[in-house]
Amino acid sequence: MVVIGQNAFSDALDRIIAGAEARDTRTPERRAADAARRETEGRAYAERLAAERLAFLARAPRYAMPGGGAGRSSALTGSLRTGTEGDQGRRLHIVAEEDCGSWCATGTALCGATPGRRSHGWGDVRNEPADCPRCLARLAGAGA
Protein backbone atom coordinates (compact mmCIF):
# COMPACT_ATOMS: atom_id res chain seq x y z
CA MET A 1 0.00 0.00 0.00
CA VAL A 2 1.30 3.42 -0.90
CA VAL A 3 0.93 6.03 1.80
CA ILE A 4 0.65 9.48 0.33
CA GLY A 5 1.57 12.50 2.43
CA GLN A 6 -0.53 15.63 2.76
CA ASN A 7 1.84 17.67 0.58
CA ALA A 8 2.09 14.98 -2.07
CA PHE A 9 -1.70 14.78 -2.08
CA SER A 10 -2.19 18.54 -2.57
CA ASP A 11 0.55 18.55 -5.24
CA ALA A 12 -1.31 15.81 -7.07
CA LEU A 13 -4.54 17.81 -6.81
CA ASP A 14 -2.77 20.89 -8.20
CA ARG A 15 -1.52 18.84 -11.14
CA ILE A 16 -5.01 17.53 -11.86
CA ILE A 17 -6.48 21.04 -11.77
CA ALA A 18 -3.69 22.45 -13.94
CA GLY A 19 -4.24 19.62 -16.43
CA ALA A 20 -7.97 20.31 -16.58
CA GLU A 21 -7.35 24.01 -17.14
CA ALA A 22 -4.82 23.26 -19.89
CA ARG A 23 -7.40 21.10 -21.67
CA ASP A 24 -10.07 23.81 -21.41
CA THR A 25 -9.63 25.49 -24.78
CA ARG A 26 -12.54 27.90 -24.35
CA THR A 27 -11.85 31.61 -24.44
CA PRO A 28 -12.30 33.51 -21.15
CA GLU A 29 -15.42 35.11 -22.68
CA ARG A 30 -16.83 31.69 -23.56
CA ARG A 31 -16.08 30.40 -20.07
CA ALA A 32 -17.83 33.41 -18.51
CA ALA A 33 -20.83 32.95 -20.80
CA ASP A 34 -21.02 29.25 -19.90
CA ALA A 35 -20.84 30.06 -16.20
CA ALA A 36 -23.59 32.67 -16.57
CA ARG A 37 -25.79 30.18 -18.45
CA ARG A 38 -25.28 27.53 -15.76
CA GLU A 39 -26.18 30.08 -13.10
CA THR A 40 -29.37 31.07 -14.96
CA GLU A 41 -30.33 27.41 -15.36
CA GLY A 42 -29.62 26.77 -11.69
CA ARG A 43 -31.81 29.68 -10.65
CA ALA A 44 -34.66 28.54 -12.91
CA TYR A 45 -34.37 25.04 -11.42
CA ALA A 46 -34.48 26.42 -7.86
CA GLU A 47 -37.52 28.54 -8.71
CA ARG A 48 -39.29 25.52 -10.21
CA LEU A 49 -38.54 23.47 -7.08
CA ALA A 50 -39.86 26.25 -4.85
CA ALA A 51 -43.05 26.54 -6.91
CA GLU A 52 -43.57 22.76 -6.75
CA ARG A 53 -43.04 22.87 -2.99
CA LEU A 54 -45.63 25.64 -2.57
CA ALA A 55 -48.12 23.71 -4.73
CA PHE A 56 -47.53 20.59 -2.65
CA LEU A 57 -48.04 22.47 0.63
CA ALA A 58 -51.24 24.04 -0.77
CA ARG A 59 -52.64 20.57 -1.58
CA ALA A 60 -51.53 18.76 1.59
CA PRO A 61 -53.97 18.61 4.52
CA ARG A 62 -53.73 21.47 7.00
CA TYR A 63 -55.39 21.50 10.41
CA ALA A 64 -56.34 24.37 12.71
CA MET A 65 -54.58 23.55 15.99
CA PRO A 66 -56.59 23.96 19.22
CA GLY A 67 -53.85 26.16 20.67
CA GLY A 68 -53.63 28.27 17.52
CA GLY A 69 -51.39 27.87 14.53
CA ALA A 70 -51.54 25.23 11.84
CA GLY A 71 -50.92 21.50 12.01
CA ARG A 72 -49.86 19.06 9.35
CA SER A 73 -49.94 15.34 8.84
CA SER A 74 -46.51 13.93 9.72
CA ALA A 75 -44.83 10.74 10.92
CA LEU A 76 -41.97 10.06 13.27
CA THR A 77 -38.81 9.49 11.27
CA GLY A 78 -37.30 7.00 13.71
CA SER A 79 -33.58 6.68 14.17
CA LEU A 80 -30.85 6.22 11.61
CA ARG A 81 -29.74 3.16 13.55
CA THR A 82 -32.87 1.16 12.95
CA GLY A 83 -34.95 3.32 10.65
CA THR A 84 -37.91 2.73 12.90
CA GLU A 85 -39.10 3.75 16.31
CA GLY A 86 -42.25 3.53 18.34
CA ASP A 87 -45.08 3.31 15.87
CA GLN A 88 -42.45 2.84 13.15
CA GLY A 89 -43.45 5.97 11.32
CA ARG A 90 -46.58 4.41 9.88
CA ARG A 91 -49.01 6.47 11.90
CA LEU A 92 -49.66 9.97 10.67
CA HIS A 93 -50.04 12.40 13.55
CA ILE A 94 -51.08 16.03 13.57
CA VAL A 95 -47.97 18.09 14.29
CA ALA A 96 -47.38 21.86 14.34
CA GLU A 97 -46.33 22.68 10.81
CA GLU A 98 -43.10 24.36 11.91
CA ASP A 99 -42.04 21.03 13.50
CA CYS A 100 -42.45 19.04 10.28
CA GLY A 101 -39.33 18.02 8.43
CA SER A 102 -36.90 19.98 10.53
CA TRP A 103 -34.94 16.85 11.51
CA CYS A 104 -34.33 17.97 15.06
CA ALA A 105 -37.72 19.16 16.16
CA THR A 106 -38.85 17.75 19.46
CA GLY A 107 -42.39 19.08 19.18
CA THR A 108 -45.33 17.13 20.49
CA ALA A 109 -48.13 15.83 18.29
CA LEU A 110 -51.72 16.71 19.16
CA CYS A 111 -52.07 13.28 20.83
CA GLY A 112 -48.94 13.80 22.92
CA ALA A 113 -46.60 11.63 20.84
CA THR A 114 -43.03 12.90 20.90
CA PRO A 115 -39.89 11.76 19.07
CA GLY A 116 -37.89 9.20 21.04
CA ARG A 117 -34.41 9.83 22.38
CA ARG A 118 -32.74 8.37 19.29
CA SER A 119 -35.33 9.64 16.83
CA HIS A 120 -34.62 12.25 14.23
CA GLY A 121 -37.86 14.00 14.88
CA TRP A 122 -40.87 14.57 12.73
CA GLY A 123 -40.76 13.85 9.04
CA ASP A 124 -41.80 16.19 6.29
CA VAL A 125 -45.38 17.29 5.71
CA ARG A 126 -47.36 14.40 4.25
CA ASN A 127 -49.91 14.43 1.50
CA GLU A 128 -52.11 11.82 3.21
CA PRO A 129 -54.50 12.97 5.95
CA ALA A 130 -53.50 12.25 9.54
CA ASP A 131 -54.79 8.86 10.73
CA CYS A 132 -53.76 8.81 14.40
CA PRO A 133 -57.08 8.18 16.22
CA ARG A 134 -55.96 10.12 19.31
CA CYS A 135 -54.86 13.15 17.28
CA LEU A 136 -58.16 13.12 15.36
CA ALA A 137 -60.13 12.81 18.60
CA ARG A 138 -58.30 15.81 20.05
CA LEU A 139 -58.99 17.77 16.89
CA ALA A 140 -62.69 16.85 16.93
CA GLY A 141 -62.94 17.70 20.64
CA ALA A 142 -61.38 21.09 20.09
CA GLY A 143 -63.64 21.88 17.17
CA ALA A 144 -66.85 21.04 19.05
Nearest distance from C-beta of residue 109 to Zn ion, angstroms: 4
Indicate the residue among 79 and 114 with the shorter CB distance to Zn ion: 114
Indicate the residue among 21 and 109 with the shorter CB distance to Zn ion: 109
Nearest distance from C-beta of residue 35 to Zn ion, angstroms: 49
Spatial neighbors of 130 by CB under 8 A, at least 6 apart, are: 61, 63, 71, 73, 92, 93, 94, 136
Q: How far apart are CA 60 and CA 32, in angstroms?
A: 42
Decide: helix, strand or coil at residue 80. Answer: coil
Nearest distance from C-beta of residue 45 to Zn ion, angstroms: 36
61 CB-contact burial (10 Å; exposed 0-12 / middle 13-18 / buried 19+)? middle
Indicate the residue among 18 and 142 with the shorter CB distance to Zn ion: 142
Nearest distance from C-beta of residue 95 to Zn ion, angstroms: 8
- Contact present, 33 and 39 (Cβ < 8 Å): no
Sites of contact with Zn ion (CB under 5 A): 93, 109, 111, 113, 132, 134-135
Indicate the residue among 125 and 132 with the shorter CB distance to Zn ion: 132
